């Protein structure tokens, strides 16, 4: 205690002692403090007795009290060195070192499980658990115009439908739409296209985002066209404008129009509302007086809304469903089959990764469980090796808890080592996720190994330790079992407890491995089926360059024709180019210009308005078809004779031909199509094979090809077939466009192979990951089964020796040992199959043309696993037949 008359030095010393006291082991803490305090006080009274204290005396007291730190630290060290827990940890480390290979294997297996779990959890955390940066994000909804039959297919919203929702709904404080737009930006170097959106009033307010620089749009800016202002993304600000801090208010020229940048949005803002592969880079204000609002057919806008106070998602959905019913009646031919689907922003952002996440998480948990089973068997083997030690320790008074604790500490040390290694693995896995999945789910760019994940890893490790350590510990420390273990030297057969443990481990390893193998098998089969799908054209060596030729230079048809003819002629002259054509709707292109229009066959009665058939109308130049190597089923392709003045002709695809001329030939038939509001009649001159436009798993669409020369258009894609690698010719092809118009921006430049790969990326990602995990699981299970059966057989050495002595043949021994293991494997297979049937239901939605109960996959995986598992059991059984009875009996 301090006393008022104590000088500062004494008070300081005493305070120091009290602070240091915490270091001292609790049982001697009081004595320790008393001793030091007494020394300080004694010293001070001696100083006082001598006369007036000098400053040196003050300093001396403080200096002496600092020695208490070393004293306390020494005591702590002694205490911990003697402490049971420390001893257990040291002992555990020694055991791990002694069986270095086995331990490394166990740690490695567990690390893979923990690392995988942490990595996948990081995705779950980012996409589903973590607070979104959007203000009150749980009140933000995205709204989609979906087919009543397929509400999960969310393409977009027809502008007219948005306007109807906007005018009629009362559930939202803000409801706004984004229309895709792009702007050519030319600052004297190469022209660039900025992908963006024209957004109606309240778009940013609905999403709850504030600019980091400048401001949002003003109400009056949504009433003028063309817009004079723009807001840019964080990325554009850095990439195009070099992070200029006074960007707000800067005058720029987009698409030949002068405008002003008024704001910059934060870096996390990726609403991906238009479902494009490229993130939006620029936003401009849109008006509600757009002629597009008459369009209730083409679903290409995105709609976001913020719930009004007191309204929840369900009631908003209910209101929109009622509005949709009304709209269906009012516009039966466009909105007849359509409804509005409300999707919370979080679900929308999780996007295509959301569905496979549970599968992926399930797979890593299975691997983790397998890792656990292996570590458990390792610990079991070790515990059995130490049965005598346990017996002796019990005899000299160790409590059951003491033994359990020791085993728990061992498994804890193992799993902590594994979790450290697992975190390193998770780090790599997260980098891999970011690299591969960010393109499809921009939110994943926020993935990082943070404190939450480290806590998660440690928690996983700790629960793993308890899972794998506690059970064998409890079983083996049971008094009855201990007694049996004590008799280990005399006992001839394995005790029932140990047998049960071995059974549980083998059965669970087989079952877990089978579940993940079947799942991976289905995914792989589905993926292989998918990549074998014929898209209707030859994907190799095709370069594509998309342009939007509008503006003053492309006002007339002649101007457009002249431009494209000129560029095509230049491209054909490039060495290595075989064919060069142009088309509006290029398969696999993110901006697939799918122009739909009504379709009639001349001479047949016109169907009622609401049953009016619709076809995709695609403009193409003659060389497009050979450049794509499409199949000509009948008739002819376009030629240069199908020019503007020639009779109007069309090529249809075989899907359309089968639908309208199931028995006859469509060649020379006359059809009428509604091209942008005007009915045009044309003669069918050819039939080509069907194309898949939106992905290998998408359905082909009925398509009518019209010669570009007869309907020149601005949104075109150059399709160039090359003799060699298409990617290498891209720069020179690009320069051919700029040779004709140096200010025209290229919206998308790629090869078809890259575009196809991009559409397959999420599936490829999931399949390869689950496949990898399944491979690991398989390996884990085989190693595990081999380990357990070897252990169980080794435990029976004496029994086998006795059997041999009393006349058992090698065959008998083999049958005895192998039959037991085979029974366990069979039980595991049965359990695994039922587990797999339940688990594959989860992946059903992710499969393409493969049933979740696909007998081939189930059969092959079961047979492969069974054979390898039996082989893993056979080996130890075979070794058992070579046991020398004499040495077996002597051994103990």
Residues that bind other proteins (CB under 8 A): 31, 34-35, 37-39, 41-43, 45, 63-71, 74-75, 78
Residue 444 burial class via C-beta count within 10 angstroms: exposed 0-12, middle 13-18, buried 19 and up: buried
Pick 34 or 500: Cβ nearer other proteins: 34
Distance CA(709)–CA(689), nearest Å, equals 22
Question: Would you say 22 or 810 has its CB closer to other proteins?
Answer: 22
Distance CA(192)–CA(747), nearest Å, equals: 8
Distance CA 633, CA 195 (A): 38
Q: Could you tell me the smallest distance in angstroms from the CB atom of residue 79 to other proteins?
A: 11
For residue 829 the two structure tokens come to: 């297979």
Q: Which is nearer to other proteins, 3 or 131 (CB)?
A: 3
Of 773, 771, 778, 772, which Cα lies nearest the Cα of 869? 778
User: Which of residues 41 and 238 has its CB atom nearest to other proteins in the complex?
Assistant: 41
Q: CB of 56: closest distance to other proteins in angstroms? A: 14
Task: List, in order, residues 6 or more apart from 112 with CB less than 8 Å away.
Answer: 367, 371, 422, 425, 776
CA 677-682-684 angle, to 5 degrees, is 130
Residue 828 CA to residue 596 CA, distance in Å, equals 55
What does each C-alpha distance from 511 to 110, 113, 373, 749 come to in angstroms?
18, 17, 12, 49
Task: Provide, rounded to whole angstroms, the least separation between the CB of residue 396 and other proteins.
Answer: 23
Query: CB-wise, 50 or 500, nearer to other proteins?
Result: 50
Query: Strands, DSSP E only, in 246-358?
Result: 251-254, 257-264, 282-285, 302-307, 338-344
Type and span of the H or E element at 683: strand 678-688
Rank residues 47 and 684 by Cβ distance to other proteins and give the closer one: 47
What are the backbone dihedrals phi and psi of residue 131, each rounded to the nearest 5 degrees, phi first? Answer: -60, 130
Nearer to other proteins, 1 or 101 (CB): 1
Smaller CB separation from other proteins, 63 or 98: 63
Shortest approach of other proteins to residue 77 CB, angstroms?
9
- The least CB distance from residue 28 to other proteins, in Å, is 10
Side-chain-side CA neighbours of 42 within 13 Å: the count stands at 7
CB of 51 to other proteins, least distance (A): 16
Nearer to other proteins, 20 or 651 (CB): 20
In angstroms, rounded to a whole number, what is the distance separating the alpha carbons of residues 491 and 796?
9
Closest CA to 533 of 694, 417, 745: 694
Smallest distance, other proteins to C-beta of residue 20, A? 11
- Shortest Cβ 84–other proteins spacing (Å): 18
- What is the rounded radius of gyration, in angstroms, for the C-alpha atoms of the chain? 37
Q: What is the DSSP string of 124-169?
A: HIIIIISPPSSTTGGGEEEEEEEETTBTT----B-HHHHHHHHHH-
Task: Considering the complex, state which of residue 68 and residue 89 has its C-beta at the smaller distance from other proteins.
Answer: 68
CB closer to other proteins out of 71 and 658? 71
Judged by CB, which is closer to other proteins: 44, or 204? 44
Query: Residue 226: is the preceding peptide bond cis (ω within 30°)?
Result: yes
Least distance to other proteins from the beta carbon of 12, Å? 15
- Which residues share a beta bridge with 251? 260
Count CA atoms within 13 Å of residue 886 on its CB side. 0
The minimum distance between CB 68 and other proteins, in angstroms, equals 7
Least gap, CB of 70 to other proteins (angstroms)? 3
SS3 content of the chain, % helix, strand, coil (to 5): 55, 15, 25
Least distance (Å) from other proteins to the CB of residue 60? Answer: 10
Q: Which one, 42 or 500, has the nearer CB to other proteins?
A: 42
| CA-to-CA separations, 8 to 16, 123, 373, in angstroms, rounded | 12, 57, 62
Q: Shortest approach of other proteins to residue 14 CB, angstroms?
A: 11
First CA to last CA distance, the chain: 65
Q: CA angle 664-670-675, nearest 5°?
A: 125
């Amino acid at each position: 205690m301090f006393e008022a008359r104590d000088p500062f030095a004494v008070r300081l010393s005493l305070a120091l002692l009290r602070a240091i006291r915490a270091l001292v082991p609790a049982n001697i803490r009081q004595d320790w403090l008393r001793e030091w305090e007494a020394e300080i006080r004694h010293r001070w009274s001696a100083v006082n007795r001598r006369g007036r204290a000098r400053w040196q005396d003050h300093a001396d007291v403080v200096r002496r009290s600092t020695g208490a730190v070393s004293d306390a630290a020494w005591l702590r060290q002694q205490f911990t060195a003697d402490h049971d827990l420390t001893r257990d940890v040291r002992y555990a480390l020694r055991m791990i070192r002694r069986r270095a290979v086995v331990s490394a294997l166990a740690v490695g297996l567990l690390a893979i499980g923990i690392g995988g779990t942490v990595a996948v959890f990081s995705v779950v955390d980012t996409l589903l658990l973590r607070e979104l940066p959007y203000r009150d994000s749980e009140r933000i909804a995205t709204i989609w115009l979906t087919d009543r039959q397929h509400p999960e297919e969310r393409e977009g919203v027809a502008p007219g439908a948005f306007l109807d929702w906007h005018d009629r709904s009362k559930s939202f404080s803000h409801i706004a739409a984004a229309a895709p737009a792009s702007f050519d930006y030319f600052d004297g170097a190469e022209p660039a296209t900025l992908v963006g959106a024209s957004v109606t009033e309240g778009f940013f307010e609905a999403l709850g985002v504030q600019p980091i620089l400048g401001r949002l749009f003003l109400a009056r800016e949504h009433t003028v066209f063309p817009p004079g202002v723009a807001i840019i993304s964080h990325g554009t600000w850095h990439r195009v404008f070099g992070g200029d801090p006074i960007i707000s208010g800067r005058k720029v020229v987009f698409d030949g129009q002068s405008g002003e940048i008024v704001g910059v949005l934060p870096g996390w803002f990726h609403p991906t509302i238009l479902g494009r592969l490229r993130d939006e880079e620029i936003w401009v204000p849109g008006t509600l007086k757009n002629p597009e609002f008459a369009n209730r057919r083409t679903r290409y806008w995105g709609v976001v809304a913020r719930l009004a106070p007191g309204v929840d998602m369900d009631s908003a959905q209910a209101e929109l469903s009622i509005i949709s019913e009304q709209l269906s009646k009012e516009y039966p031919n466009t909105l007849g089959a359509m409804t509005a689907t409300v999707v919370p922003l979080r679900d929308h952002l999780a996007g295509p990764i959301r569905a496979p996440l549970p599968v992926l998480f399930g797979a890593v948990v299975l691997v983790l469980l397998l890792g656990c089973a292996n570590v458990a068997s390792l610990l079991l083997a070790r515990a059995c090796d130490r049965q005598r030690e346990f017996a002796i320790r019990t005899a000299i008074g160790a409590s059951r808890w003491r033994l359990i604790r020791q085993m728990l500490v061992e498994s804890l040390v193992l799993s902590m080592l594994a979790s450290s290694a697992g975190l390193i693995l998770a780090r790599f896995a997260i980098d891999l996720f970011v690299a591969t999945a960010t393109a499809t789910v921009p939110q994943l760019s926020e993935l990082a190994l943070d404190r939450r994940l480290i806590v998660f890893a440690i928690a996983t490790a700790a629960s793993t330790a308890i899972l794998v350590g506690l059970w064998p510990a409890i079983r083996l420390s049971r008094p009855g079992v201990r007694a049996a273990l004590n008799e280990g030297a005399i006992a001839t057969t394995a005790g029932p407890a140990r047998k049960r443990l071995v059974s549980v481990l083998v059965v669970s390893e087989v079952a877990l491995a089978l579940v993940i193998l079947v799942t991976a098998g289905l995914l792989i089969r589905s993926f292989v089926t998918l990549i074998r799908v014929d898209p209707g054209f030859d994907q190799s060596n095709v370069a594509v360059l998309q342009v939007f030729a509008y503006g003053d230079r492309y006002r007339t048809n002649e101007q457009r024709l002249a431009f494209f003819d000129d560029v095509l002629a230049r491209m054909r002259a490039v060495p290595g180019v075989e064919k060069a054509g142009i088309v509006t709707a290029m398969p696999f292109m993110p901006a697939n210009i799918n122009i739909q229009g009504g379709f009639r066959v001349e001479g047949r009665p016109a169907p009622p308005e609401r049953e009016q058939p619709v076809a995709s109308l695609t403009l193409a130049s003659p060389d497009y078809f050979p450049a794509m190597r499409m199949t000509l089923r009948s008739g002819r392709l376009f030629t240069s004779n199908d020019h503007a003045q020639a009779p109007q002709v069309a090529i249809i695809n075989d899907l359309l031909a089968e639908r309208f001329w199931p028995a006859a030939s469509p060649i020379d038939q006359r059809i009428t199509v509604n091209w942008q509001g005007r009915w045009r009649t044309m003669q069918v001159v050819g039939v080509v094979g069907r194309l898949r436009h939106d992905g290998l798993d998408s359905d082909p669409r009925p398509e009518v090809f019209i010669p570009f020369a007869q309907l020149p258009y601005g949104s075109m894609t150059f399709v160039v077939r090359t003799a060699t690698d298409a990617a290498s010719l891209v720069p020179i092809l690009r320069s051919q466009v700029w040779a004709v118009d140096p200010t025209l921006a290229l919206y998308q430049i790629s090869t078809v192979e890259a575009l196809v790969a991009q559409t397959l990326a999420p599936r490829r990602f999931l399949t390869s990951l689950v496949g990898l995990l399944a491979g690991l699981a398989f390996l884990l299970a085989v190693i595990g089964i081999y380990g357990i059966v070897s252990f169980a057989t080794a435990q029976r050495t004496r029994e086998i020796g006795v059997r041999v002595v009393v006349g058992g043949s090698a065959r008998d021994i083999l049958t005895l040992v192998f039959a037991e293991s085979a029974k366990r494997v069979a039980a595991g297979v049965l359990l695994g199959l039922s587990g797999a049937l339940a688990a594959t239901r989860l992946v059903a939605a992710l499969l393409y043309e493969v049933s979740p109960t696909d007998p081939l996959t189930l059969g092959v995986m079961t047979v492969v696993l069974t054979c390898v598992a039996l082989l893993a059991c056979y080996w130890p059984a075979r070794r058992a037949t070579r046991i020398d009875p004499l040495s077996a009996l002597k051994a103990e």
